[in-house]
Amino acid sequence: MSSQYNVVVEKNRKILVSITEAIVFCGKQKIAMRGHEGDKGNFQALLSFQAKQDPILKEHLEHGDPRSMYLSPDIQNELISICGKQIADSIVPKCNSAPCFGFMADEATDASTMEQMAMCLRYFDGADLREDFLGFAECESTTGETLANAFLANLELAGVDVNKMRGQGYDGAANMSGIRRGVQARIQQRIPGAVYTHCKAHCLNLAIIHASKEMYARNMVAPVQQIAFAFNYTAKRFLRFQENLDNDEVARVEMDKRTNLQSLCETRWEARLDALHTFLCSFR
């Protein structure tokens, strides 16, 4: 009986390893796990592909007990949480062993209208300067006090030594950067050495937004977008563009293997550089 029990345990472990590997693969490749129909998602398709080379997994998928298949969305979410906890547990000791660290965070509303906080740690591990994503956390509101308390509580819950914080970086929203009631001010009350720095990417985005309000920039951006739409959303024009691009070696090299005009990003203004560069290279 003991021998049979050990065989069952070993079999279940191999099945869970295969399932976890499929989840990790989807995560690394940024592939959505579930499709529009429950049994036709990427996760199920990947497991079916693995089963071709894994007889234990194949037998489990075809003849396993429906009560213990380990494939439900709840089990998937639980395994994802466990993997995230393992990653966070490997990051925290390296951060705590550094002389100091910087904390970066932001909050946004997800598809289910919940406020999600994204937290990152910046530290030197003795060889490289690292920026590691620690995880997401939910918060009840977006006030400076609530966010500051939630940030510190989640850092301490993860095991981070918050007293080593010597820097904090957020965007310029009032609830984050306010000098009296913002997150940075409230965290500095607790940790005086945590100096606030306005996110440089956010500063660049704001600078480009203000620059784009100038007459010449504003008058140039609209035609670029209209021309990109004109070529990309009409098959005949797009084909004509491709033919001319094939006949222009210089433009093709300058466009760096791009084959069409890029439309302008509506929110990330710095991302418009790629669209403007492509337009300039093909403007002949």
Percent of the chain with pLDDT over 70: 94
Distance of alpha carbon 81 from the chain centroid: 16
pLDDT given at position 249: 75
> Does residue 268 register a pLDDT over 80?
no
pTM for the model stands at 0.70
Domain boundaries, the chain: 2-71, 98-198, 215-282
Alpha carbons within 13 angstroms on the beta-carbon side of residue 253 total 3
pLDDT given at position 21: 93
pLDDT given at position 271: 65
Q: What is the DSSP letter of 106?
A: E
Is 168 in contact with 196 (CB distance < 8 Å)?
Answer: yes
Task: Give backbone dihedrals phi and psi of 106, rounded to 5 degrees, phi first.
Answer: -155, 165
Mean pLDDT of 91-116: 87
Is 275 in contact with 282 (CB distance < 8 Å)?
Answer: no
Alpha carbons within 13 angstroms on the beta-carbon side of residue 165 total 26
pLDDT given at position 103: 95
Q: How confident is the model at residue 258 (pLDDT cuts 50, 70, 90)?
A: confident
pLDDT given at position 281: 77
pLDDT given at position 13: 92
d(CA 8, CA 255): 58
Dump the DSSP string for 69-103: -S-SHHHHHHHHHHHHHHHHHHHHHHHHHSS-EEE
d(CA 22, CA 83): 12
pLDDT given at position 162: 94
> Does residue 44 register a pLDDT over 70?
yes
For 47, the token pair is 């497991």
Q: Average pLDDT over the chain, rounded to whole?
A: 85
Q: Which of 79-93, 193-207, 243-257 has the lowest mean pLDDT?
A: 243-257
pLDDT given at position 216: 76
pLDDT given at position 184: 92
d(CA 50, CA 21): 10
Q: How many CB atoms lie within 10 A of CB 48?
A: 13
To which residue do tokens 């037998």 refer? 59
pLDDT given at position 155: 93
Q: Which of 130-134, 171-175, 263-267, 274-278 has the lowest mean pLDDT?
A: 263-267
Q: How confident is the model at residue 25 (pLDDT cuts 50, 70, 90)?
A: very high
> Does residue 156 register a pLDDT over 90?
yes
Distances from the Cα of 110 to the Cα of 36, 113, 199, angstroms: 19, 5, 21
Mean pLDDT of 254-259: 73
Q: Which residue has the higher pLDDT, 249 or 239?
A: 239
> Does residue 180 register a pLDDT over 80?
yes
Q: Which of 47-56, 200-209, 251-260 has the lowest mean pLDDT?
A: 251-260
Mean pLDDT of 278-282: 78
Mean pLDDT of 159-184: 91
Q: Which residue has the higher pLDDT, 82 or 211?
A: 82
Secondary-structure class of domain 98-198 per CATH? alpha beta
